[in-house]
Amino acid sequence: MARKLTPGQVAKELNNIVLTFSGKSISGWIQEAWEKSQKTTIGQAAAGVERAARAVDPYAVLGLPHSASLEEVKRRYSPSLTPALSQMRWNMMVRAGGVCCFGW
């Protein structure tokens, strides 16, 4: 029968597993992450946030500057693609056995 471990024993076991596979203890990983976060400049952090923001920015997705006119947006975005995308989604749903888990 399996023995019951105390929280301290569980922590030691986890630490030993991490140490075995990575060569560093959990406290070593935490210390390294802390030091790295202290060395990160505001500019580096902002660059990461800017990259993430561009991924959800509709102008960036269309490859347009924020100063683009409505006409430029309409030229870049083709509503004729919408039926094709809908058909692709339908085909994917049918291939998956009719189960739709993505809200399409």
pLDDT at 92: 54
pLDDT at 93: 47
pLDDT at 32: 92
> 11 in a domain, yes or no?
yes
Domain count, the chain: 1
pLDDT at 57: 72
> 9 in a domain, yes or no?
yes
List the domain range (segments joined by +) for residue 15: 1-39
> 22 in a domain, yes or no?
yes
> 21 in a domain, yes or no?
yes
Spatial neighbors of 66 by CB under 8 A, at least 6 apart, are 59
> 14 in a domain, yes or no?
yes
> 4 in a domain, yes or no?
yes
> 30 in a domain, yes or no?
yes
> 73 in a domain, yes or no?
no
Which residues of the chain fall below pLDDT 70? Answer: 1, 54-56, 77-104
pTM, 2 dp: 0.39
3-state secondary structure the chain: CCCCCCHHHHHHHHHHHHHHHHCCCHHHHHHHHHHHHHHCCHHHHHHHHHHHHHHHCHHHHHCCCCCCCHHHHHHHCCCCHHHHHHHHHHHHHHHCCCCCCCCC
